[in-house]
């Protein structure tokens, strides 16, 4: 039996002859600083779309959050001015009332006190008038003192004011019962949006309101505009309003008032917008998005898809040569739908990459 021996040299030759050579891959791009150069065979080139930057007419818009509120003059909380027991209610929730309509009636033992106050005020006026006429007569005949006449006139006017107040209170009463009843009337026209009246309940003089009336055919929206943007807004300017509840409803309002004060914490200024609300769809307390029109200007506008993010900065790819692109930091402004205003970093004539930027390698 023969024994076979393999030479190490022969084994090495056999091993090397069986190894296949791997083809070297060619680089399809090169990076120089913030420049990327793509080779002609780079498949990314087919994904890139470019666009020449131009200046366009741009409508400045400022958007802020707002809250729908009732107009103060169209809102009334009604409580009893006297302690007493409710003996009758004239309204129901959701009911429309006119100014002066009866809301509820209360049995008020304080009626006799009100009568006495009125009687005393009437006597005081008569005495003050008598003294005033007397001082006038004395001065007219040269024996009076002008200062005393002026003091008598002031006293007379003060007593007349007190009588008017007492008379208003007395007129609110209706003395159909021996103890005196007081009928509370609606101070404004509107709708009863809250009614907590319970017949027989006893109300104290400092009780919480039991009825709320609101006239909601018009509402206010309170918004906050940044200090830097307030120069673009003036009373009477039209605004567009959107609420999440009715996303398709077009709501147009106008700037009603701009506050004179700046909120030092937020550096914003309170703005009141007035809106018509004929269908009563805008409810107090709803949140709204308010868009103010701030005039037009020439500006660089680019597709929002052209913007790339690097940390806390944004940039675009500029075509700087054949198959060559350069990263340029830009400062974007406001965004509208699919476009973005560029405040700095681009100028008309620049060629930017609008699609395909995500395929380029990162640079410094």
d(CA 66, CA 286): 9
10 pLDDT more than 60:
no
Question: Which band of pLDDT confidence, cut at 50, 70 and 90, is reported for residue 94?
Answer: very high
**Pair 207, 85: CB distance under 8 Å:** no
Question: What pLDDT, on the 0 to 100 scale, is given for residue 16?
Answer: 47
**CA–CA separation, 248 and 242 (whole Å):** 8
CA-CA distance, 337 to 60, in Å (whole number)? 13
Nearest Cα to 317, choosing from 299, 333, 335, 305? 305
CB under 8 Å to 54, separation ≥6 — which residues?
300, 348
Cα–Cα distance list, 59 to 40, 223, 232, 284 (Å): 41, 21, 12, 31
What mean pLDDT do residues 44-64 have? 87
Looking at residue 186, its pLDDT comes to: 94
How much is the pLDDT for 333? 85
Angstrom distance (rounded) from CA 242 to CA 313? 31
Q: Which helix (H) or strand (E) holds 134?
A: helix 111-140
Residues comprising the chain, all counted: 364
| pLDDT reported for residue 293 | 82
How is domain 82-110+180-214 classified at the CATH fold level? OB fold (Dihydrolipoamide Acetyltransferase, E2P) (2.40.50)
Question: Is there a contact between 242 and 286 (Cβ–Cβ < 8 Å)?
Answer: no
Dihedral (CA of 145, 151, 155, 161) sign: positive
Which CATH number, 1.10.10, 3.40.50, 1.10.287, 3.40.190, labels domain 113-172?
A: 1.10.287
Helix (H/G/I), strand (E/B), else coil: 101: coil
* Overall average pLDDT of the 65-86 stretch: 91
| Mean pLDDT, residues 93-101 taken together | 94
Q: Quote the pLDDT of residue 92.
A: 95
Q: What pLDDT score does 207 carry?
A: 87
Q: Which of 131-145, 171-185, 189-203, 295-309 has the lowest mean pLDDT?
A: 171-185
Residue labelled with tokens 């395909």: 356
Could you give the CA distance from residue 342 to residue 356 in angstroms, rounded to a whole number? Answer: 20
- Digit-coded pLDDT (tens) for 238-295: 999 999 999 889 899 999 999 999 999 999 999 999 999 998 999 999 999 999 887 7
Non-local (6+) Cβ contacts of 95 within 8 A are 191, 192
Give the whole-number percent of the chain exceeding pLDDT 90: 46
Q: What is the pLDDT of residue 204?
A: 87
Question: Does the pLDDT of residue 196 top 80, yes or no?
Answer: yes
| Burial of 78 from C-beta contacts in 10 A (0-12 / 13-18 / 19+) | buried
- pLDDT exceeds cutoff 90 at 29: no
For the ranges 23-37, 54-68, 144-158, 337-351, which has the lowest average pLDDT?
23-37
* Domain spanning 62-73+215-296, CATH architecture: Beta Barrel (2.40)
Q: To the nearest whole number, what is the mean pLDDT of the chain? A: 85
Q: How far apart are CA 50 and CA 306, in angstroms?
A: 9
CA 187 – CA 77 distance, rounded (Å)? 9
pLDDT in tens, 222-254: 999 999 888 888 999 999 999 999 988 989 999
Mean pLDDT, rounded, for 137-149: 86
30-57+298-359 CATH choice from 3.30.1450.10, 3.90.1300.10, 2.60.40.1180, 2.40.420.20? 2.40.420.20
In terms of Cα–Cα distance, which of 207, 18, 237, 243 is closest to 104?
A: 207
Q: Which residues pair with 273 in a beta bridge?
A: 221, 255
Domain boundaries in the chain? 30-57+298-359, 62-73+215-296, 82-110+180-214, 113-172
Report whether 317 contacts 48 (CB < 8 A): no
Q: What is the mean pLDDT of residues 50-72?
A: 88
Task: Find the distance separating the first CA and the last CA of the chain, reported in whole Å.
Answer: 72
Say yes or no to pLDDT of 215 above 80: yes
306-333 residue pLDDT tens: 999 988 899 999 999 988 999 999 999 8
The pLDDT score that the predictor gives to residue 111 is 65
Q: Is the pLDDT of residue 336 over 60?
A: yes
């Amino acid at each position: 039996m023969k024994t076979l021996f393999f030479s190490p040299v022969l084994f090495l030759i056999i091993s090397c002859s069986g190894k296949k050579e791997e083809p070297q891959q060619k680089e399809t791009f090169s990076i120089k600083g913030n420049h990327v150069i793509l080779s002609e065979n780079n498949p990314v080139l087919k994904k890139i779309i470019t666009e020449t930057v131009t200046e366009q007419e741009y409508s400045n818009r400022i958007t802020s959050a707002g809250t729908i509120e009732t107009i103060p003059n169209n809102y009334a909380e009604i409580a009893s001015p006297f302690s007493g027991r409710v003996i009758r209610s004239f309204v129901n929730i959701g009911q429309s009332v006119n100014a002066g309509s009866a809301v509820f009636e209360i049995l008020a033992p304080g009626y006799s006190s009100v009568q006495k106050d009125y009687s005393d005020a009437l006597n005081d006026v008569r005495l003050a008038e008598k003294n005033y006429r007397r001082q006038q007569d004395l001065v007219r005949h040269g024996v009076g003192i002008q200062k005393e006449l002026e003091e008598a006139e002031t006293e007379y006017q003060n007593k007349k004011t007190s009588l008017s107040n007492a008379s208003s209170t007395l007129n609110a009463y209706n003395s159909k019962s021996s103890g005196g009843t007081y009928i509370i009337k609606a101070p404004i026209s509107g709708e009863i949006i809250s009614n907590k009246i319970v017949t027989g309940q006893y109300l104290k003089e400092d009780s919480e309101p039991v009825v709320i009336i609101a006239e909601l055919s018009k509402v206010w929206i309170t918004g906050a505009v940044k200090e830097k943007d307030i120069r673009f807004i003036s009373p009477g300017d039209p605004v567009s309003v959107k609420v999440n509840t009715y996303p398709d409803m077009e709501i147009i309002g106008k700037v009603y008032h701009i506050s004179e004060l700046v909120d030092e914490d937020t550096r914003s200024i309170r703005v009141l917008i007035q809106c018509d609300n004929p269908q009563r769809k805008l409810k107090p307390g709803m949140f709204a998005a308010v868009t103010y029109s701030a005039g037009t200007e020439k500006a660089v506008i680019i597709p929002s898809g052209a913007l790339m993010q690097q940390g806390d900065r944004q940039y675009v790819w500029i075509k700087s040569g054949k198959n060559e692109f350069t990263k340029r930091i830009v400062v974007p402004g406001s965004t509208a739908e699919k476009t973005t205003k560029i405040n700095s970093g681009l100028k008309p004539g620049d060629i930017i990459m609008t699609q395909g930027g995500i395929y380029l390698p990162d640079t410094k």
